[in-house]
């Protein structure tokens, strides 16, 4: 049945060349499946490998000296690991749209916004040039940019953070891709703008049946708009769970994330934090990489082994060895 998934990542391992000889794993045993029209939230502490996982989808790991060491990565049946330039030419900007993490620095500083939109639109070689302006304005309208005619002639430094973000989204959706990867599209923006951009992503999914991967640190936000939430910790996916049942998580890390939500803090109560620091790349503990921070840890968790996701319910997978013994 695997042929039907839009995106299928299985036991992906991403290594980075530190020196000529030394290799370091920054993602290991990550798995993720997305169906058409699904919004998946990807959450985890800083450094857990979210951005690297996303980059593997557009083949730009090499820029950071990283590469896929093993595992499977299929987009609509196409093997992306062995993809050649010609395959990427068909995928980048056309079938996968990408809103980079630092979208605030994303637009090209030496091109007008109009030129960049045109670039995105003309990825379709058959697009009639005469309709370029119309389509550009249409895209800017979709992302709710005011005074789109002016913005077309402006440079990125003349735009606010929220506008840049919207421009990046407009470029990403120009070809109505099957998948949009939005890497923290609202970090650094104020709350109202955040909410608007989330609404926008939802609307795009509704209108075009686009699948979306939404990376965020913000659990409430993800809960609100994503169908499923995938939790990453130390380079691996530790749980996949329907967002609405996040409270019924069967992974201590997810629960810890949930309990450290600021919006749960009652006035006199204390903000619960997650024990310790995330283990840093290169010094992950053997066995469960959460073991050093976990309240439920037992000896068997520390035994050297891979911890793949195990299906324990509808759309619910966890990697915790003691999942049936934990409760909130």
Partner 1 sequence: MLKNQIARTILGRLGRALSVGFWVMVISFAIMRIIPGDPASARLGGVEAEAIAQLRKQLNLDGSIFQQFSRYVTDLLHGNLGISLQTGRTVIDIIGSTLPLTIYLILFSTFFAVILSIPIGTSIAWSGKAPIVYTFRGITAVILATPNFFIAMVGILIFTVRVNWSPVFGYEPEFPQNLKYLWLPVVVNTLIMTSVVSRVIFSSVIETKEEEFVETGIIRGVGRRRFFWFYILKPSMAPTVVLLSYMMGTMLGATVILETIFTLPGIGREMVNAVLTSDYPVVQGILLIFGVITVFLSFVGDVIAYLLDRRVKI
Ligand X SMILES: Nc1ncnc2c1ncn2[C@@H]1O[C@H](COP(=O)(O)OP(=O)(O)OP(=O)(O)O)[C@@H](O)[C@H]1O
Q: What are the residues binding ligand SF4 (CB under 6 A)?
A: 252, 288, 290-291, 294, 296-297, 301, 320-322
For residue 281, the partner it binds in partner 1, ligand X, Mg ion, none, with Cβ less than 5 to 8 A by kind, is ligand X
Dihedral sign (CA 203, 204, 209, 213): negative
Instruction: Name the strands in the sheet holding 96-99, side by side, starting at the edge strand that comes first in the sequence.
Output: 96-99, 179-183, 211-216, 39-43, 228-233, 236-242, 316-318, 310-313
52 binds, among ligand SF4, ligand X, Mg ion, none (CB under 5 to 8 A by kind): ligand X
**Nearest position to ligand X, beta carbon:** 51
Residues 39-58 that bind partner 1 (CB under 8 A): 58
CB 31 within 8 A of CB 238: no
Secondary structure class of 145 (helix, strand, coil) = coil
Tell me: does residue 103 bind ligand X (CB under 6 A). no
Phi and psi based region of residue 234 (left: phi greater than 0; alpha: psi -120 to 50; beta: remaining): left
Q: Which range binds ligand X by CB under 6 A, 59-67, 74-82, 85-93, 191-199? A: 59-67
In the bound state with partner 1, the residue whose beta carbon lies nearer, of 62 and 269, is: 62
Distance CA 120, CA 273 (A): 43
* Residue that the structure tokens 């919006």 belong to: 263
- Which residue bears the tokens 């979306």? 212
Indicate the residue among 65 and 313 with the shorter CB distance to ligand X. Answer: 65
101 binds ligand X (CB under 6 A): yes
Q: Which of 89, 141, 209, 305 binds partner 1 (CB under 8 A)?
A: 89
Q: From the list 108, 160, 277, 311, which residue makes contact with partner 1 (rule: CB under 8 A)?
A: 108
**What x-and-dash track marks residues 53-92 binding Mg ion by CB under 5 A?**
----------------------------------------
The reply on whether position 49 binds ligand X by CB under 6 A is yes
How many beta carbons lie within 10 A of that of residue 82, not counting itself?
Answer: 9
51 makes contact with Mg ion (CB under 5 A): yes
Q: Which structure tokens are listed for 210? A: 């686009």
Q: Least distance to partner 1 from the beta carbon of 19, Å? A: 12
Q: Which of 109, 74, 115, 116 lies closest to 91 in space, CA to CA?
A: 74
Rounded least distance, CB 58 to partner 1, Å: 5
Decide if 219 contacts 43 (C-beta within 8 A): yes
Query: Is 136 buried (19+), middle (13-18) or exposed (0-12) by CB count in 10 A?
Result: buried
- The rounded distance, in Å, linking the Cα atoms of 50 and 48 is 6
* Contact partner, 297, from ligand X, Mg ion, ligand SF4, none, Cβ < 5-8 Å per class: ligand SF4
Nearer to partner 1, 12 or 173 (CB): 173
Residues that bind ligand X (CB under 6 A): 16, 24, 26, 44, 46-52, 64-66, 101, 281
Residues that bind partner 1 (CB under 8 A): 58, 60, 63, 88-89, 91-94, 98, 100, 102, 105-111, 115, 119-120, 123, 150, 153-155, 157, 168, 171
């Amino acid at each position: 049945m695997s042929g039907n998934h839009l995106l299928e990542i299985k036991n992906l391992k991403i290594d980075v060349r530190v020196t000529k000889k030394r290799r370091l794993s920054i993602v290991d045993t990550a798995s993720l499946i997305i169906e058409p029209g699904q919004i998946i939230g990807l959450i985890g502490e800083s450094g857990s490998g979210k951005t690297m996982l996303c980059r593997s989808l557009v083949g730009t790991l090499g820029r950071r000296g990283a590469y896929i060491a093993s595992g499977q990565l299929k987009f609509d049946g196409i093997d992306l690991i062995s993809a050649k330039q010609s395959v990427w030419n068909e995928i980048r900007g056309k079938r996968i749209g990408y809103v980079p993490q630092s979208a605030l620095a994303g637009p090209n500083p030496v091109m007008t916004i109009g030129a960049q939109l045109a670039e995105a639109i003309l990825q379709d070689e058959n697009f009639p040039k005469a309709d370029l302006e119309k389509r550009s304005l249409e895209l800017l309208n979709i992302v709710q940019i005011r005074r789109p005619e002016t913005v077309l002639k402006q440079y990125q430094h003349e735009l606010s953070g929220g506008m840049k973000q919207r421009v990046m989204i407009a470029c990403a959706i120009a070809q109505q891709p099957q998948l949009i990867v939005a890497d923290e599209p609202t970090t650094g923006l104020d709350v109202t703008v955040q909410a608007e951009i989330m609404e926008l992503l939802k609307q795009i999914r509704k209108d075009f049946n686009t699948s979306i991967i939404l990376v965020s640190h913000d659990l409430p936000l993800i809960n609100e708009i994503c169908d499923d939430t995938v939790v990453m910790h130390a380079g691996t996916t530790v749980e996949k769970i329907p967002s609405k049942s996040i409270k019924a998580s069967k992974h201590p890390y997810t629960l810890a994330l949930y309990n450290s939500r600021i919006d749960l803090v009652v006035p006199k109560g204390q903000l619960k934090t997650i024990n310790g620091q995330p283990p840093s790349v290169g010094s992950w503990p053997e066995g469960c990489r959460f073991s050093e921070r976990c309240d439920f840890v037992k000896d068997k968790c520390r035994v050297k082994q891979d911890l793949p996701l195990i299906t324990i319910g509808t759309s619910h997978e966890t990697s915790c060895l003691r999942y049936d013994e934990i409760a909130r």
